[in-house]
Amino acid sequence: MSDKVVKTEEQWREELTELQYYVAREKGTERPFTGEYTKEKRSGEYRCIGCGEPLFSSDGKYDSGCGWPSFSEALPGDAVETAEDNSGGMRRVEILCRKCDSHLGHVFPDGPQPTGTRYCVNSASLAFEPQDEK
């Protein structure tokens, strides 16, 4: 992975939409079943909205019924990192883009086998690149 992306808050606000900024930079959450990629079925790659780093593949995407795009695994490598999240009176594991620290969502141990993992990701944190456009 290349060097860490560092931008001022002003730069982030100029580059991201209001919703993208709220989710990726302020650790917000989009409303369930409203995200652009919740029902996306095409083959392709999901990248970080903040820096373009490849994070997830459509091969690992599935419909968990939770209202957000769900993935059973991140792409190989270290593009996604985790952190403890005790906000809102809950104990969860946050997922972040390692390259730019954008908030992606949360990871849970209730996904399908063989990983048993569910990466629950906000569409606002992602940019989808269809396979035929790579």
| Nearest-angstrom CA–CA distance, 16 and 119 | 22
| Nearest-angstrom CA–CA distance, 2 and 109 | 29
Q: Are 52 and 24 in contact (CB under 8 A)?
A: no
- At residue 109's C-alpha, the angle toward residues 106 and 111, to 5°, is 95
- Catalytic residue selected from 48, 97, 100, 120: 120
φ, ψ of residue 68 to 5 degrees: the values are: -130, 155
DSSP conformational letter for 114: T
Task: Based on the residue annotation, tell me whether 120 is a catalytic residue of this protein.
Answer: yes
Provide the Cα torsion 71, 31, 36, 81; round to 10°: -40
Positions marked catalytic:
120
